[in-house]
Amino acid sequence: MKIGFLGAGKMAEAMMAAWLESETVTAHELFACDTDAERRRRIKRRLGVNAYASVQPFAEEVELLVLAIKPQDLDAALSALPPDVGPKHLVVSIAAGRRLAWLEERLPAVRLVRVMPNLPCQVAEGMSVYCLGACTKAADAATVETLLAGFGKVLRLPEDRFDAVTALSGSGPAFFASFLDAMAEAGMAEGLDRDDALLLCNQTMLGTARFLLEKRQDPRQLIQAVASPKGTTVAGLAALDQSDFAAAVQAAVRAATQRSRELSAVR
């Protein structure tokens, strides 16, 4: 399958690298355009893909076009697309905050899929959520699922859930990193070096996430298993409860969700 990218930033580079590593596509089947000459040189040098300053040279050739451009630049970029982009194309948008209705107004003839990936896709541990436009087919959904699975987990949800998705998996890496930083600082206060504290925290988070996923356990089950009566975990959990930790997390997710709604409403 020949795949083109409108925009060749970090997320686009991560997606292309993952597909090449998994041998989903070959380098000569990947095309990317970016106005930044340095970005073009980087992906050409690192990945060996076809890189252009414009989508024009490959628009007719590709079967799938990924919109990987900043939301504020997307309107102008779509207006400049050649007439070759039409019903035969499957268009996948990873532009944050641009809803399907907005995209379908500008690309009424194409089959559209909206995807919300996240930063960990750069290390093949991403979480991607997608929804389908009005003209897409069952085969399109299967294609998208296969491609997204090349760099992590995949979930299909209605678009009205995307603001919550943005808060949990889009902003979530920063929330987890904030918690880990606080954990590391606390470890340093107890006498650990920062590098040692970060290794302990990072590996513990990674191991916990893998354990929950692979054992298919609810986090509450793990808490119950680790929290021995009158033990260290119970003492720490009690301190978190006293600081209203759960309420703070809920407030963060609520604020991120509301901000996503506000950004999506901007046309």
What is the CATH code for 170-265? 1.10.3730.10
Q: How far apart are CA 34 and CA 41, in angstroms?
A: 10
By the 8 A CB rule, do 50 and 31 touch? yes
What does the alpha-carbon distance between residue 159 and residue 131 come to, in Å, rounded to a whole number? Answer: 6
List where CATH 1.10.3730.10 sits in the chain.
Answer: 170-265
| pLDDT mean for each 10 residues of the chain (267 residues) | 94 92 92 95 96 91 94 89 87 92 92 95 93 93 95 96 96 97 98 98 97 96 95 96 95 96 80
Whether residue 50 contacts residue 58, with contact meaning beta carbons closer than 8 Å, is answered with yes
Which CATH number is 3-162 given?
Answer: 3.40.50.720
Task: Spell out the residues 6+ positions from residue 158 whose beta carbon is closer than 8 angstroms to its own.
Answer: 131
> pTM of the full predicted structure?
0.91
To the nearest 10°, the Cα dihedral for 84, 90, 95, 96? 150
Considering the chain, tell me which residue range(s) the CATH 3.40.50.720 domain(s) occupy: 3-162
DSSP SS3 for 33: strand
Give the integer Cα–Cα distance in Å for 235 and 242.
Answer: 11
